[in-house]
């Protein structure tokens, strides 16, 4: 189905990204010596053309990076600095990030395809903010003194775990860098981070700024490379004390198995989702339509917490469909470097093909394709904003994570029914609730099995708000005070008291 009225800026020529990928030629290892000399290309999703060839890290590079991180943890100055000094380095880094926002946003857009305006005006300031947030935690990690049942003095020390292995995805390369690196460094750990092979560039750039800010060598090591080689080596490494992974549920299972087979390092997982977005009949429909649109299409639909099952109460269903369709058809798709563009290309040909196959599956299962449904242009990985009505719970498009600009709208009658349907999924990452009734909001908030419930809003991602999944959407929480657990060990210290003044 042609996108007759889809606003598109694609027919015009592409903008030249205002940065050079000059940093893409090495892995940031302390030794800066790559074991193999292999490289891999990273592509511009607007065209599928090569941006740069990047050093390809594999098991040997991971070994090398882990040794550097081990040494920096066991012997280096990092752990013996005061928390205040560590905090200062993180603050200086945040300042440098802010100084280079334009360049980094451009690099992020070039490598990932997301709208430049979104990267520069929203994502980058949030990343700066996250590092400010974690810098503030560094000198506020308190252990406890503990009441004992006898004459003992009991205290707990909250210690850094050691070498943290971190594997980040391609959909928000820098934000995921911040969610992982921020708490790990605030808690005094050292890090080996593997970036996604689709988007290796900005992590290298940011890590270089971190060293400019005074981070000692070996504390933060970046390895570009692939999951089955570099990622698996990191997850299985016997000298990595902690692993944090963000990606698909299927890969998360592999990661956890590798950990079970190696050294039982504690694992944090942020995985897939199929988050319900529930619009009750008493909701402000205009806001709900706009936010449901945003919840799904934001970042080309490539969000783990995308509101990908839009449940609309039957009395407002038809009106909602009409408005949601109108909104989708107004969506501006095009060169993400251009002003006003809301949607760029999907990340790569694999994801592009996958999304289109889900669109076909939706059509075959007799959902109503209201608009979109195909490729946009003939170059790169652009997809028309697509949206299905009359979606049933048992259709593949209502069950699987599509990770693309495909909205599915489902009808419901009453609250009990929608709670049950919303919870019938292996996922439990997030949920949106739209109602003006306080009781409905409270009922849904408690009943929905999801790590985040946004009531009359969506995708609010402040640094202090914990994020993570119920069920197969993950283990653990990132951001907020909860994220510190992931990077601390608890040590109980007990000693007898002689003649205590009190117990």
Q: Which residues are catalytic?
A: 270
Q: Which is nearer to a second copy, 18 or 266 (CB)?
A: 266
Interface residue with a second copy, options 228, 286, 319, 496 (CB under 8 A):
496
Q: Which two tokens stand for residue 116?
A: 């430049």
Q: Which is nearer to a second copy, 111 or 270 (CB)?
A: 270
Q: Is 315 an interacting residue with respect to a second copy (CB under 8 A)?
A: no
Interface residue with a second copy, options 148, 332, 369, 396 (CB under 8 A):
148
CB of 417 to a second copy, least distance (A): 15
CB of 384 to a second copy, least distance (A): 31
Query: How far apart, in Å, are the Cα atoms of 87 and each of 93, 96, 132, 139, 217?
Result: 10, 14, 9, 7, 16
Distance of CA 309 to the CA centre of its chain: 19
Q: Is 147 an interacting residue with respect to a second copy (CB under 8 A)?
A: yes
CB of 436 to a second copy, least distance (A): 11
Q: Is 163 an interacting residue with respect to a second copy (CB under 8 A)?
A: no
Q: Which is nearer to a second copy, 248 or 390 (CB)?
A: 248
Distance CA 124, CA 121 (A): 7
CB of 446 to a second copy, least distance (A): 7
Stretch that binds a second copy, among 87-95, 110-118, 256-264, 411-419 (CB under 8 A): 256-264
Q: Is 307 an interacting residue with respect to a second copy (CB under 8 A)?
A: no
Distance CA 148, CA 457 (A): 45
Distance CA 246, CA 304 (A): 9
CB of 190 to a second copy, least distance (A): 15
Q: Which of 232, 246, 258, 83 is nearest to 177 (CA)?
A: 246
Half-sphere CA count of 406, side-chain side, radius 13 A: 32
The DSSP element (H or E) to which 109 belongs, if any, is: helix 101-112
For the beta carbon of residue 105, count every other beta carbon within 10 angstroms. 27
Stretch that binds a second copy, among 22-30, 310-318, 325-333, 438-446 (CB under 8 A): 438-446
Residues 416, 420, 423, 426, Cα dihedral to 10°: 180
Would you say 154 and 492 are in contact if contact means Cβ atoms under 8 Å apart?
yes
CB of 445 to a second copy, least distance (A): 5
Q: Is 129 an interacting residue with respect to a second copy (CB under 8 A)?
A: yes
CB of 48 to a second copy, least distance (A): 34
Q: Is 256 an interacting residue with respect to a second copy (CB under 8 A)?
A: yes
Interface residue with a second copy, options 16, 22, 142, 149 (CB under 8 A):
149
Find the binding residues for a second copy in span 403-432 (CB under 8 A).
426
Stretch that binds a second copy, among 60-68, 204-212, 266-274, 408-416 (CB under 8 A): 266-274
The string of DSSP codes covering 444-480 is: HHHHS--SEEEES------TTS-B--SGGGEES-BST
Interface residue with a second copy, options 259, 305, 356, 406 (CB under 8 A):
259
Q: Is 481 an interacting residue with respect to a second copy (CB under 8 A)?
A: yes
Q: Which two tokens stand for residue 72?
A: 């920096």
Q: Is 468 an interacting residue with respect to a second copy (CB under 8 A)?
A: yes
Distance CA 377, CA 374 (A): 10
Distance CA 278, CA 9 (A): 32
- In 255-405, the DSSP E strands lie at 267-270, 276-279, 309-313, 368-371, 386-389
> Which residues of this protein are in contact with a second copy, per CB under 8 A?
129, 144, 146-152, 154, 156-157, 159, 241, 249, 252-254, 256-257, 259-261, 263-264, 266, 269, 271, 426, 441, 445-446, 450-457, 460, 462-468, 470-472, 474-477, 480-482, 485, 489-496
């Amino acid at each position: 189905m042609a996108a007759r009225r889809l606003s598109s800026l694609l027919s015009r020529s592409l903008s030249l990204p205002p940065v050079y990928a000059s940093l893409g030629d090495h892995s940031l290892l302390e030794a800066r010596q790559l074991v193999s000399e292999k490289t891999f290309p990273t592509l511009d999703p607007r065209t599928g053309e090569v941006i740069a060839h990047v050093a390809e890290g594999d098991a040997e590079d991971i070994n090398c990076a882990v040794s550097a991180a081990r040494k920096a943890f066991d012997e280096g100055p990092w752990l013996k600095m005061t928390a205040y000094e560590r905090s200062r380095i993180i603050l200086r880094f945040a300042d440098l990030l802010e100084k280079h926002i334009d360049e980094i946003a451009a690099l992020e857009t070039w490598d990932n395809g997301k709208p430049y305006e979104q990267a520069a005006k929203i994502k980058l300031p949030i990343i700066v903010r996250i590092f400010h947030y974690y810098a503030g935690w560094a000198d506020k990690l308190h252990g406890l003194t503990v009441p004992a049942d006898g004459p003992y003095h009991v205290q707990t020390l909250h210690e850094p775990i050691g070498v943290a292995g971190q594997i980040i995805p391609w959909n928000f390369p820098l934000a995921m860098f911040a969610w992982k690196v921020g708490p790990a460094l605030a808690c005094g750990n050292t890090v080996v981070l593997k970036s996604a092979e689709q988007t290796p560039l900005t992590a290298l750039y940011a890590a270089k700024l971190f060293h400019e800010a005074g981070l000692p060598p070996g504390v933060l090591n970046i390895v570009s490379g692939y999951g089955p080689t570099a990622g698996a080596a990191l997850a299985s490494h016997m000298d990595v004390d902690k692993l944090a992974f963000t990606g698909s549920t299927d890969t998360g299972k592999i990661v956890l198995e590798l950990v079970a087979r190696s050294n039982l390092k504690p694992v944090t997982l942020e995985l897939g989702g199929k988050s319900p977005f529930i619009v009750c009949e008493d909701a402000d429909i205009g806001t709900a339509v706009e936010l449901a649109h945003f919840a799904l299409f934001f970042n080309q639909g490539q969000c783990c917490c995308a509101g990908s099952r839009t449940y609309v109460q039957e009395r407002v269903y038809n009106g909602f469909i009409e408005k949601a369709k109108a909104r989708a058809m107004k969506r501006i798709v095009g060169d993400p470097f251009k002003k006003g563009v809301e949607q760029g290309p999907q990340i790569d040909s694999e994801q592009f093909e996958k999304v289109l196959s889900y669109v076909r599956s939706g059509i075959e299962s007799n959902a109503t394709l209201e608009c979109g449904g195909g490729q946009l242009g003939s170059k790169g990985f652009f997809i028309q904003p697509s949206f299905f009505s009359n979606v049933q719970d048992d259709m593949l498009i209502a069950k699987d994570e599509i990770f693309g600009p495909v909205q599915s709208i489902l009808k419901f009658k009453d609250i009990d029914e929608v709670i049950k349907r919303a919870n019938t999924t292996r996922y439990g990452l997030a949920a949106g609730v739209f109602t003006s009734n306080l009781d409905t909001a409270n009922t849904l908030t408690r009943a929905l099995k999801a790590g985040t419930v946004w009531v009359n809003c969506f995708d609010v991602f402040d640094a202090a708000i914990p994020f993570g999944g119920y069920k197969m959407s993950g283990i653990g929480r990132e951001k907020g005070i909860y994220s510190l657990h992931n990077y601390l060990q608890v040590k109980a210290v007990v000693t007898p008291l002689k003649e205590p003044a009190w117990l």
